[in-house]
Amino acid sequence: MSQIKDKVVLVTGGANGIGKLLGEKCLQEGARHLVIWDINPANLDKTVARFQSQGYQVSGYLVDVADVKDIENTAQRVLAEVGKVDILFNNAGIVVGKLFKDHTTRDIEKTFDINVLGVMHVTRNFLPAMLQYGSGHIVNIASASSLTPNPKMSVYASSKWAVMGWSESIRIELERENRELRVTTVCPGYIDTGMFAGTKAPLLTPILKPEYITDLIIRAVKKNKLFVMAPATVHLLPPLRGILPTRWFDFIGGKVFGIYKTMADFVGRPPQEAVPEKPTESVK
């Protein structure tokens, strides 16, 4: 069982949406110190100030997880100023909802820099301390799209497939250490945070409320669960994809459940809420 009480927790993309809720719930569970990484300075300052006003120990760092040097430099600051991170939530991510033919080079590279390389490099910088002390819990936010193809999500889905494969692989590596090193992979469907505004949920698959999915994630951390899949229909994807011929899955998943139509009217976050470019400095 992973304890949150008295632990140091770091959340990437932690000043808004799911990341902010995860940080708040960890503080409510008794986390000793919350470290928030985010690229939006206004959201970061507001969130840190709010939590600190409630008497919590919180530090905010302005970080671009698409920039390896920024990750490395800021990780060293966190380790020096706060100490070992006990629970790491790799939450930061972006989505570009377009047909593949409409993607720019920047769309593709930014998606992989944040969703895949950012997750790996953040973990790479905090894992040595976890290994040294023999304990730690890494939570990787993948997606239900890591389990199924979906039109207008080709680049996003492929980034999340990469996260899934990497997350499961390091889980096995760390389990072989025979110490208290845990990995949880989260595969949610669409969440009502604005990131997927305009999407239509598949049949029998409700759009998740942020409070609900974050409660599931916190519970999974405390119980050392390997996966969080929600809503319940997401659990059907691996067996159906594994058993059914591809054309049958296309018919059942795409036609009957409507998975392949969910992004037809996608609009995403308004431009003013989109991920900004690289910050000029990190602040505490």
Catalytic residue from among 156, 190, 212, 260: 156
Tally Cβ neighbours within 10 Å of residue 134. Answer: 11
Q: How far is CA 169 from CA 78, 147, 163, 225, in A?
A: 26, 16, 10, 15
Confirm whether 156 is a catalytic residue: yes
Structure tokens at 282: 């990190």
DSSP-derived secondary structure letter, 231: S
Q: Copy the structure tokens of residue 249.
A: 């899955």
CA distance 28 to 125: 27
- Dihedral (Cα; 194, 199, 203, 209), 10-degree rounding: 0
- Rounded distance between C-alpha atoms, residue 181 and residue 210, angstroms: 27
Q: What residue has token string 């390091």?
A: 170
Catalytic residues: 156
